[in-house]
Amino acid sequence: MRALFLLPIFLIPYIVFAQIQQPSRAEIEVSDYDENYQIIPVGRYGVLTFTQSDQKPDKENKKWLFTIYDNKFSQLWEKELLINKHFYYRDHYFDKSSLYILFGNYKEDEVKLIKLDLNSGTFEILKIDFLPRFSVYSFKVIDNSLYIDGRYKKDVVLGYINLDNRSFQLLPFEFKGTVNIESIDIDTLNNKVNVVFSNTIKKKSSILIRTYEGVNQVGQIALETEGERLLSGKLTTIGDERIVVGTYSTNNTLSQGMYISKLDKNGQQAFIKFYSFTHFKNFLNYLPEKRKEKLENKISKKEAHGKEVALNYNLLVHDLIKQDDEYIMVAEAYIATYRTETRMVTSYVNNSPVTTMQTYTVFDGWLYTHATICGFDENGTMKWDNSFEMGDFKTYSLRQRIRVSPDKNKIMLVYGTANNIKTKVISGDQVIDAKENSKLNTNYTDDNVKRTYLTDIEYWYDNFFIVYGFQKIKNTSNDNVKTKRRVFYFNKIAY
């Protein structure tokens, strides 16, 4: 039995750090083992949640419950859909007033694409023949064309679905060496799609952009360098120009700096500019002061003798943001962590048991160290850089965690971890509000949060974010509340 609890705005105890407020919260009671809730913010239309129920109306299907809430978390409507019992949620894409949600199964030869018209609240369910053992990483839609970054038989592939006739095919591309799809960018002005590929052949790494109309490739350009290895690339179309940002290296597979490149309206490379981390003003701010000072002195001494010092990092690069006359680039740095485990192992020697102690090194998740934020002018000149410390965040799921909201002459940076919201407000290389920690509000002042997990945060609209996850809460003081409750929650965050 689902129960939704909304907290009236006048009852919420406002917590204000770095201009953070929490004007709304919703809770859905869930069972002890239910972690199946998904949430998608859809701009001013509100928020969509959906979950698979335990109900099986027939042998082939299960019920999925879709609910949409307005921007104050009042429920607008709720609908049930029947979906193959073996299918699960794979990805979604939101475009203006349409939301596309893809369901499938790795072993099945079909998928279901649900198209939701947010203006009317109507669903269209498309059954599409597919390839079994095809993994969907992400997809985007333009008009009647859906493009998929996928994997098939361990190979990187570009999938295409024609939504008019519901047909699926793989778009051909041939690369030597290893290849990865870095991004798929929708160019609504020219009704085209730009796909960015990274290609590595031995010690050479490059970025190639291919342009498609429907199934047809209508353009291609490889970014030119003077020996730098281009490790990643994100393309953004702005008017009749295309901007590519990413990371590069001079001698290995770890990032040593950022680059920015512009393609003009004729599809030619106007420029490409490289910026080493050693020349950033604030890149090392996440380090303890003494360690930072020691490293900066080392860099200065080396450069005084004409030597280059390389700072090597793994980075997740975000899509480019246009703010007034600047391009804003955001990237999150992370490292792999490991722990040591000791196990007792019994073997047999001459039919006699022998027990020995063996030590193993085990992967212990990805630790995010910090994010770097850079501002470039329209000629690709870096005007400023800043950073956001993240050393308290570790996860086994590697993906972008920081959400960004530019507002006039400042930028809000935020991420969620456990029961906390971490924020920082910057303006260029200046810090307006230093990193702050805000506790998540619950519905009642006497609530005692015992556990918060699977916390995540998304940008919503204007100056609003939505943070969500699961909580176990205890309340022994309020007779109108269950003593113990387990909820899927979502809080509206404003600044």
Task: Please give, one letter per residue, the 3-state secondary structure of the chain.
Answer: CCCEEECCHHHCCCCCCCCCEEEEEEEEECCCCCCCCEEEECHHHCEEEEEECCCCCCCCEEEEEEEEECCCCCEEEEEEEEEECCCEEEEEEEECCEEEEEEECCCCCEEEEEEEECCCCEEEEEEEECCCCEEEEEEEEECCEEEEEEEECCEEEEEEEECCCCEEEEECCCCCCEEEEEEEEEECCCCEEEEEEEEEECCEEEEEEEEEECCEEEEEEECCCCCCEECCCEEEEECCEEEEEEEEECCCCCECEEEEEEECCCCCEEEEEEEEHHHCCCCCCCCCHHHHHHHHHHHHHHHHCCCCCCCCEEEEECCCEEECCEEEEEEEEEEEEEEEEEEEEEEEECCEEEEEEEEEEEEEEEEEEEEEEEEECCCCCEEEEEEEEEEEEEECCCCCCCEEEEECCEEEEEEEECCEEEEEEEECCEEEEEEEEEECCCCCCCCEEEEEEEEEEEEEECCEEEEEEEEEEECCCCCCCCCEEEEEEEEEEEC
Residue 409 has pLDDT above 90, yes or no: no
Over the stretch 287-340, which tens digit does the pLDDT of each residue have? 999 999 999 999 999 888 888 888 999 999 999 999 988 999 999 999 999 999
pLDDT value of residue 318: 95
Sheet with 21-29, edge to edge strand ranges: 4-6, 21-29, 484-494, 464-474, 448-461
SS3 of 309-362: the string is CCCCEEEEECCCEEECCEEEEEEEEEEEEEEEEEEEEEEEECCEEEEEEEEEEE
Q: What percent of the chain has pLDDT over 90?
A: 71
Residue 291, phi then psi, degrees to nearest 5: -70, -40
With 90 as the cut, is the pLDDT of residue 212 above it? yes
pLDDT value at 392 more than 90: no
What pLDDT score was predicted for residue 13? 40
Distance CA 204, CA 187 (A): 29
Average pLDDT score over residue span 246-251: 93
17: confidence class by pLDDT, cuts 50, 70, 90:
very low
Q: How confident is the model at residue 132 (pLDDT cuts 50, 70, 90)?
A: confident
Q: What is the pLDDT of residue 12?
A: 39
The Cα–Cα gap between 230 and 261 comes to 11
Angle value at C-alpha 76, between 466 and 453, nearest 5 degrees: 30
Q: What is the pLDDT of residue 47?
A: 97
Q: Looking at the predicted structure, is the pLDDT value of residue 9 above 60?
A: no
Quickly count: other Cβ atoms within 10 Å of residue 468's Cβ: 22
* pLDDT value for 2: 56
Please answer whether residues 369 and 334 qualify as being in contact, where contact means their C-beta atoms are separated by less than 8 angstroms: yes
User: 328 to each of 209, 261, 300, 411, how far by Cα in Å?
Assistant: 21, 13, 27, 10
**pLDDT for the residue 346:** 87
What is the pLDDT of the chain when averaged over all its residues? 90
Average pLDDT over residues 134-150: 94
pTM (2 d.p.): 0.88
Q: State the CB neighbour count (10 A cutoff) for residue 318.
A: 19
Q: How far apart are CA 242 and CA 258, in angstroms?
A: 17
Q: Which residues contact 100 (CB under 8 A, 6 or more apart)?
A: 92, 93, 94, 113, 114, 115, 116, 139, 141, 146
334 phi/psi in degrees, rounded to 5: -145, 160
Residue 96 has pLDDT above 90, yes or no: no
Give burial (CB, 10 Å; 0-12/13-18/19+) of 27. buried
The pLDDT, as a whole number, for residue 19 is 63
Say whether pLDDT at 80 is over 50. yes
pLDDT digits (tens, 9 = 90+) for 144-167: 999 999 999 889 999 999 999 999
- Residue 450, pLDDT > 90, answer yes
Per-residue pLDDT averaged across 353-368, rounded?
91
